[in-house]
């Protein structure tokens, strides 16, 4: 019985995600951005690239924080280990459609689609990637 208690203590101290109820994610992503002039039916700008994103996930309180300067907690809904968002809104004549799916527990696939559109132009932004759990120190370093 002493061994079971010792093993539990070692596991809790060895895993920062369990020890402080946070999960730290590193997501290796690829993105593409396409801007179009809708009246001329012409691509005005196109960009592709890769980026590494870091997040801190509080599974107990359903919130997420990115490793950006001055980042704050964002309240989210995590269902069956998946954080997903889907919304569409109209602001000053511009329609903004957003969808995001991030597998956080266990870490995995990430997809983000954003479309901003008015009568004259549109901007499409797509991100795909894979996330993995990392140590808290990786998140802290990325936050600097």
Convert the pLDDT of each residue in 66-101 to its tens digit: 998 889 999 988 999 999 989 999 999 999 999 999
This prediction has a pTM of 0.77
20 band by pLDDT with thresholds 50, 70 and 90: low
Question: pLDDT at position 144, please?
Answer: 85
Q: Write out the two tokens for 28.
A: 């290796």
Question: pLDDT at position 136, please?
Answer: 94
Model confidence at 9: pLDDT above 70: no
Q: Helix, strand or coil for residue 6?
A: helix
Q: Give the contacts of 114 (CB within 8 A, at least 6 positions apart).
A: 96, 97, 98, 123, 124, 125, 126
Residue 63 CA: distances (Å) to CA of 9, 22, 80, 142:
27, 10, 14, 19
Model confidence at 2: pLDDT above 90: no
Residue 23: strand pairing partners: 57
Percent of the chain surpassing pLDDT 70: 86
CA dist 86 and 1 (Å) reads: 49
108 band by pLDDT with thresholds 50, 70 and 90: very high
Asked whether the beta carbons of 137 and 54 are under 8 A apart, the reply is no
Phi, psi of 106 (to 5 degrees): -80, 155
Half-sphere exposure of 25 (CA within 13 A, CB side): 26
Name the nearest CA neighbour of 107 among 46, 39, 57, 49.
Answer: 57
Question: pLDDT at position 139, please?
Answer: 94
Asked whether the beta carbons of 51 and 29 are under 8 A apart, the reply is yes
Model confidence at 46: pLDDT above 60: yes
Using CA of residue 43, residue 88, residue 98, residue 91, what is the dihedral sign? positive
């Amino acid at each position: 019985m002493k061994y079971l208690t010792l093993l539990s203590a070692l596991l809790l101290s060895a895993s920062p995600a369990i020890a402080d109820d946070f999960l730290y994610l590193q997501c290796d992503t690829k993105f593409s951005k396409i801007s179009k002039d809708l009246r001329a039916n012409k691509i005005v700008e196109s960009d592709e690239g890769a980026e590494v994103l870091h997040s801190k996930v509080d599974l107990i309180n359903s919130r997420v924080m990115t490793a950006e300067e001055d980042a704050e907690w964002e309240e989210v809904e995590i269902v069956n280990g998946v954080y997903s968002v889907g919304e569409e809104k109209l602001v000053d004549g511009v329609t903004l459609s957003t969808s995001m799916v991030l597998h956080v527990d266990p870490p995995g696939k990430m997809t983000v689609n954003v479309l901003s559109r008015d009568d004259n132009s549109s901007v499409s932004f797509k991100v795909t990637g894979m996330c993995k759990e990392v140590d808290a120190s990786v998140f802290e370093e990325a936050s600097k």
